Amino acid sequence: MTAPAPPPQLDLDPRTVRTARALAERLGRPVVDIARTHTTVSVERATLRLAGLSGGDHERVPWVNHLVDEVRAQVGLEHGVTTPVWDALRRGEAPDLLTLAQKASAAAVSFRLPEGGDRTRARRAASAAVRPGLRRIDRQRAARERLVARHGDPEQRPWIYLIVATGDIYEDIPQAQAAARDGADVIAVIRSTGQSLLDYVPEGATREGFAGTYATQENFRLMRAALDEVSKELGRYIRLTNYASGLCMPEIAALAGLERLDMMLNDSMYGILFRDINPIRTFVDQRFSRQVHARAGIVINTGEDNYLTTADAVEAAHTVTVSQLMNEYFAKEAGLEDWQLGLGHAFEINPAVPDSFRMELAHALLARQLFPDAPLKWMPPTKHMTGDIFQGYLLDGFFNLAGAMTGQSILLVGMMTEAVVTPFLSDRGLALQNVRYVLNAAGGLTEDFRPPPDGFVQRRARQVLAESVDLLEQITSEPERAGSAPLLEAIADGTFGHMKRPADQGKGLEGVAVKAEAYDNPAITLMEADGWGGSA
């Protein structure tokens, strides 16, 4: 395979770029401190899942929920759940973890915070129980590397990313395999509407999702096996994506690592802005989830494109850049590498705006140059898809052309029936045909497209970068309120996506706890000891 030509270069001031990153780090550090000093019910449940606890009661409420809820009711979350859980097992409250959880669901277990030697032995046992889950994630990462070496990666960039969303995992599977045969490189199983607000992960294979399919461990396993089958048939490794977001972000990240998913939607602020999830809950959960993603070799997809659905894509372009810089800082602090940063941006400028396509090129090139080693995820038009399918098909063609000209990495296939109906298979076929035509005809334009010095594209990119630095400086210069952080205050003020989300409000706040001095979580300890999570 011939290496792709390097993307066009913008004449950006390197000092301005360094300033932007330094400000992002300054803004992000207090949030990381908050994440390090808090835990959540989902972080604790994810740790028990890594220790092998799965399944649920007759109402499909997971045993991890029952167990964490009972520990919390008796001794709180401040010390973590693993110490009282393995202390109870050592004291003979139950013969194994599953039985302990089942007894806890009937309030038939007594938990305590052990001291001295009992605490040491409980923690040692908890660490030994969690380690096999992390080793399974390591084996899955190695398995991915072997399969990519055996089957090969797609020959072209960008990778073609296509969504499957029937609600029924057994319908999703043949559609996903058909999409791969039609040219898709990444299959995203979109999640059922509202799952991000469920404070539990459903169990088993599901067939009743709404506008998407529930993210469950069994659904992950079934789809991964189906895509492994079609990867062998096609001679290229087909990647699988789902959503590590919402109230169960850490748990879904752990399940994704255990079942060898390849990409996960995992944005630092999406759940805060667009699902009204408590900001502290989100930042605590996302740090743990990204530590897991780092270890699992999973590429994250961030959600900056969503800002442009609620704010103007020209006026708010700099907020996308600021979010990308923040996502980069938080991701690297948690241990992710550049090749895992699928930072998001989108083709969402109103097509009626003069020079809209030139501005799209400027925005796309700015992202490409700021993050040269990141697999950027380029998102198609949605906000201005009016129902005119012919205009929509043309817009998607321009979107594909912008991706080809600016060297994007992951291209989500746009549908001309966006915002009209759930796309038919024939719509998907036409959309893939559009992508194939543009990439075959213009895929090498990165070699030829060179914006002239001080031309429109150069000037627009510099303007957006300067506005990004101005916004970062404005946020960092504001007086810090007691117990808060400037970024949290900016989110509360509606800086991003015009959504105001105070740090003391939002869904899931009751599931947050301040860590005690003696807090212990063996999953975090083991991951950080192995280098997954530290200083950016």
What's the burial of 491, exposed, middle or buried (CB within 10 Å: 0-12/13-18/19+)?
Answer: buried
- Contact indicator for 130, 258 with CB cutoff of 8 Å: no
In this structure, is the dihedral angle defined by the CA atoms of residues 327, 329, 332 and 334, taken in order, positive or negative? negative
Return the amino acid letter for 75: V
CB distance 294 to 533 below 8 Å:
yes
Q: Which of 270, 307, 329, 393 is catalytic?
A: 270
Comparing CA positions, the residue from 369, 368, 386, 387 lying closest to residue 378 is 368
**Amino acid identity at 144:** R
- Give 188's strand partners: 163, 241
Residue 441's CB is within 10 A of a number of other CB atoms, namely: 12
Rounded Cα–Cα distance for residues 429 and 162 (Å): 11
Q: Which two tokens stand for residue 150?
A: 């055996």
The conformation of residue 77, written as its DSSP 8-state character, comes to: S
Tokens found for residue 325: 């810089």
The residue with tokens 């003069």 is 354
Tally Cβ neighbours within 10 Å of residue 109. Answer: 23
Please tell me the distance from the alpha carbon of residue 131 to that of residue 52, in angstroms, as a whole number: 10
Phi then psi for residue 373, to 5 deg, are -105, 10
Concerning whether 170 is annotated as a catalytic residue, the answer is no
Q: Is 500 a catalytic residue?
A: no
Tell me 59's DSSP state. T
**Selected catalytic residue, list 267, 329, 377, 383:** 377
User: How far apart, in whole angstroms, are the C-alpha atoms of residue 42 and residue 288?
Assistant: 10
SS (H, E, C) 444-510: CHHHHCCCCCCCHHHHHHHHHHHHHHHHHHHHHHCCCCCCCCHHHHHHHCCCCCCCCCCCCCCECHH
Task: Tell me if 201 sits within 8 A of 245, measured CB to CB.
Answer: no
Q: In this structure, what DSSP letter does residue 264 have?
A: E
Structure tokens that stand for 414 in this block: 């746009």
**Residue of 305, 396, 427, 520 with catalytic role:** 305
* Identity at 461, one-letter amino acid code: A
Q: What φ, ψ does residue 315 adopt, rounded to 5°?
A: -65, -35
Measured distance CA(283)–CA(369) in Å, rounded: 27
CA pair distance 46, 513, nearest whole angstrom: 15
Q: Which amino acid makes up residue 38? A: H
Q: Annotated catalytic, 305?
A: yes
* Rounded distance between C-alpha atoms, residue 33 and residue 284, angstroms: 10
CB 8 within 8 A of CB 406: yes
Cα angle: 26, vertex 347, 337; to 5 degrees: 40
Q: Rounded CA gap, 415 and 424, in Å?
A: 10
Q: Which residues are catalytic?
A: 270, 305, 377
